[in-house]
Amino acid sequence: MAVASECEDKQRALESVLASPALGRSEQLRQLLRFLVTEEIEGRGGELNEYAIGVKALGRPAEFAPELDSTVRTRTHELRKRIEEHYRTSASAGTRIEIPKGTYRPRFVQEIEEAAESPTGSAPAEPARTPSRFWHGAAAGGAAILAVALAVQFLWPAPEGERAAQRVWGPLLEKGSSVTLLLATAPQLWIRDFGTDPLPVGDPPFTFRAPDDARFAEWYKQNQRRTAINPVLHPNHHGVLGGEASAAVTLAGFLAARGVRVEQWHAEHPGAAEIKDRNAVVLGRAEYNRVAQSLQPPQGFSVRYVPERREMGIVSADGKKAYFREKSGTINYGLITVLTNRTNAGPRRTILFAGLNSDGSQGAMEYLTTLADLTELVREFKGEVPASFQVVVRTRSADTRALRGERAALLVLE
């Protein structure tokens, strides 16, 4: 009977999330969640893998190749965020569903509702009054309902993770405000192939011939699934790196869920002076981001080329600590720099995200938008979050996409 009751609790938890507004109109996410939870309940959770999920839950064809198609990873990442949003806005006791980072296997967490203890030998004490009880008692009149709503807003504390987010992000999470996002665009040569047709006039303004090299031809064929006929290199300064584009999407969702608007600029603007009176997020390392160059704290970590190793590293100012991408290619590092300015209008905060490559930037963003990681960070600060600090984030990546991140180093700048 206990086993049956446990399965029923898990099924109710599933139905609760499936019916949640957090999933919006995405039937694909509902189908994915239903598949993962059903496999776990029926004892097959340990057998979950990308191929099975892609074919059985997301409708991918039998020839689906997870190493070339990141659909399962991206949809699971989105589902994980939506589940977190559901529980952030639905503070109910009972069984909760989690999909931990780095795995597709769901787990079930029992949330226990707090109740007042009864004195020994006496009648049960009045249960602690919750917002729902207040609402029930105030239903008799509109004025009472308004008073209850205000009491809930100001007296009922936010969950620990949300409080941690407010502490770390500070003025960037002021509801109804706007955050400026400066998204770096690395100068690139875009490969275009017009075949046997004549090249366009004026767009692009100039081109270079692509290398006549067997290695280039094979690489192009593998990535484009076709053979190059007449490839040219087109100069481009508007291209965003993949991991940083994903980080921008994650940021937009994190801020939108808290009533904050995002105003996007390209990081081609003159410099940090333009954002000194704004709350801002800067995405991209100093190598191709002029704003990041001007904001880099001289006493802190920086992402820079290390000629002795002939690779990029996240290196402390004194050179005693350094983090490099592991040779397997699956372990990468990102850097978060939080800076606070004092202005006439009050404190303004700028947060920079960079990485050894773009999935390092994405992993850093994932870390600072995950409530569990923010909670752990605030605890590390013992509740006193400094005005300016840095976090080095170690990420595990697959197909240049960060899957899981953890704090590797912490440095207080102020």
Each residue's pLDDT tens digit, 264-303: 776 555 455 566 678 889 998 888 888 888 888 889 999 9
Which residues 6+ apart lie within 8 Å of 412 measured at CB? 386, 388, 389
Which residues 6+ apart lie within 8 Å of 3 measured at CB? none
Query: Distance between CA 46 and CA 43 in Å, rounded?
Result: 8
Q: What is the pLDDT of residues 180-204, one digit of tens each?
A: 888 888 888 888 888 888 887 777 6
Whether the per-residue pLDDT at 9 is higher than 80: the answer is yes
Specify which residues 281 forms β-bridges with.
181, 351
Q: How confident is the model at residue 140 (pLDDT cuts 50, 70, 90)?
A: very low
* Identity of the amino acid at 192: R
Which residues 6+ apart lie within 8 Å of 40 measured at CB? 10, 48, 105, 106, 107
Q: List the structure tokens of 220.
A: 């192009």
User: 316: buried, middle or exposed (CB in 10 Å: 19+, 13-18, 0-12)?
Assistant: middle
- Strand, coil or helix: what is 233? strand
User: How many Å from the N-terminal Cα to the C-terminal Cα in the chain?
Assistant: 58
What DSSP line would sit under 134-163, residue for residue?
HHHHTTT-HHHHHHHHHHHHHHSPPPHHHH
Query: Distance between CA 115 and CA 137 in Å, rounded?
Result: 18
Share of the chain above pLDDT 90, in %: 22
- Strand, coil or helix: what is 104? coil
Q: How confident is the model at residue 138 (pLDDT cuts 50, 70, 90)?
A: very low
Helix (H) or strand (E) holding 349: strand 346-355
Helix (H) or strand (E) holding 140: none
CA-based R_g, the chain, Å: 25
**Which pTM does this prediction carry?**
0.62
